[in-house]
Amino acid sequence: MSKKKLVQIQRYLIIAILFLICVILFLGILIQYQDSQNALKFAQNSSKNITIEPKQENISNENHLSIFKEIPYKDENDNFQENNQSILEEQIKDLNLSSIIDENLSLVVEQNLSKEENLTKDMNLSKTKQARLAIIIDDMANISQVKALQALKLKLIPSFFPPDKNHIDTPKLALKFDFYMVHLPLAAMNYTKPEFDTLNPSDSEKRIFKKIQQVKKDFKDLKFINNHTGSLFTSDEKAMKKLYKAFEKEELIFVDSKTIASSKAPKVAKALGQIYIQRDVFLDNRDDVAYIKKQLMEAVRLAKQKGFAIAIGHPRKNTFKALEQSKDLLKSVELVYLSEIYAK
């Protein structure tokens, strides 16, 4: 073979190698672009969801998805990457370029996996394949509600009002359950009958801490608190910072009932390095058995879709009736306490 032909072959090889590198870089850029477009679409869709006060504030409610969105471990882009990677590695394995390809492809995979890690942080979903559903029953205040809830014989989570002159015995009633929460009254925009000693955005950090400290003292082994109403309070970033700091000092975890779309809880929780938890479905904004059963179906659907979901209802006759009639449906998921999902 002549020297001229050898030079030509070398040139062709160099051109082929450069072409393959360009293809790899193009694939990486394309996949990153697709990911960014998907994220943009998700953000746009999320912004269209309207989250509103539950029925106590006389505003209707629709279903909402939580921050923990389901992201498949491997999607079509991942499979496409892997197929191209195997072909290219086979073609140029003798040219010592595999490290370049691995670096570009692994970057895209790591970006996809990092999204999943961020969304499932602090959640313990690995021990079981069955979908999990936590059902919180708010506004618990008296013995008749306690008996009605216990009669269902379902693994539900009662959330009790802090004790006041209208319901003095809530700390004692809470002890009748293996797991319970406290339903903390926070100021609302459109509620004319606030609970006694409701916290307001203008309250001082000292006043808020004192309230949370007393709640922790009243309720033995308390770990989780969710808000009663609170559209005004939770949409105020400064107020939520004061509240989260009090929770942190008392080693409590806040569950956002998500009574307003503009809740600042997720932003504040992230800034302070704390867990953010929110409800997915309100069960009984309409006091109608058929409607509540439909909402339970939606809660189960979300639990199966995401692995875990949170629903909130109230101690009403029709809510208990709907739960009783939905026992077969609820067998398709594992009813859990929040302490089984979130570790402190």
Quote the pLDDT of residue 60.
35
Burial of 47 (0-12, 13-18, 19+ CB in 10 A): exposed
Amino acid at 1: M
Say how far apart CA 172 and CA 142 lie, in whole Å.
10
- How far lies 93's CA from each of 15, 63, 97, 307, in Å? 16, 52, 7, 41
Quote the pLDDT of residue 311.
99
Whether the per-residue pLDDT at 75 is higher than 60: the answer is: no
Apex CA 149: angle with CA 136 and CA 139, to 5°?
50
Comparing C-alpha atoms, which of 53, 30, 7, 26 is closest to residue 312?
Answer: 53
Whether the per-residue pLDDT at 280 is higher than 80: the answer is: yes
Q: What is the pLDDT of residues 310-341, one digit of tens each?
A: 999 999 999 999 999 999 999 999 999 999 99
Q: What is the pLDDT of residues 247-259, one digit of tens each?
A: 999 999 999 999 9
Phi-psi group of 230: left, alpha or beta (phi > 0 → left; psi -120 to 50 → alpha; rest → beta): left
Say how far apart CA 279 and CA 30 lie, in whole Å.
36
Q: How confident is the model at residue 48 (pLDDT cuts 50, 70, 90)?
A: very low
Q: What is the 8-class DSSP label of residue 262?
A: T
Q: How confident is the model at residue 125 (pLDDT cuts 50, 70, 90)?
A: low
Quote the pLDDT of residue 38.
62
User: Which is more confidently placed, 176 or 78?
Assistant: 176
Comparing C-alpha atoms, which of 326, 264, 6 is closest to residue 254?
Answer: 264
Q: Could you write out the DSSP letters of every residue in 196-220? A: TT-B-TTS-HHHHHHHHHHHHHHST
Domain definitions of the chain by residue range: 3-48+69-119, 132-340
Whether the per-residue pLDDT at 41 is higher than 60: the answer is: no
Q: What is the pLDDT of residues 177-218, one digit of tens each?
A: 999 999 999 999 988 888 999 999 999 999 999 999 999 999
Q: What is the 8-class DSSP label of residue 272?
A: T
Whether the per-residue pLDDT at 90 is higher than 60: the answer is: no
Q: What is the 8-class DSSP label of residue 248?
A: H
In this structure, which CATH number among 3.40.50.300, 2.60.40.420, 3.20.20.370, 3.30.950.10 belongs to the domain 132-340?
Answer: 3.20.20.370
Say how far apart CA 169 and CA 158 lie, in whole Å.
14
Paired strand residues for 175: none
Q: How confident is the model at residue 1 (pLDDT cuts 50, 70, 90)?
A: low
Quote the pLDDT of residue 180.
99
Own/partner contacts of 173-176, CB < 8 Å, gap of 24 or more, are 173/140, 173/142, 173/143, 173/146, 174/140, 174/219, 174/220, 175/220, 176/146, 176/150
Comparing C-alpha atoms, which of 104, 111, 91, 89 is closest to residue 38?
Answer: 111
- Percentage of the chain with pLDDT > 90? 60
CB 153 within 8 A of CB 197: no
Whether the per-residue pLDDT at 107 is higher than 80: the answer is: no
Kindly give the interhelix angle for 143-151 and 317-325, rounded to the nearest 10 degrees: 10
CB 139 within 8 A of CB 227: no
Average pLDDT over residues 223-249: 98
Q: How confident is the model at residue 17 (pLDDT cuts 50, 70, 90)?
A: confident
User: Which is more confidently placed, 47 or 125?
Assistant: 125
Quote the pLDDT of residue 92.
40
Comparing C-alpha atoms, which of 220, 210, 131, 237 is closest to residue 178?
Answer: 220
Say how far apart CA 77 and CA 312 lie, in whole Å.
37
Q: How confident is the model at residue 241 (pLDDT cuts 50, 70, 90)?
A: very high
Instruction: Enumerate residues 6+ apart whose C-beta is below 8 A from 274.
Output: 244, 247, 248, 253, 254
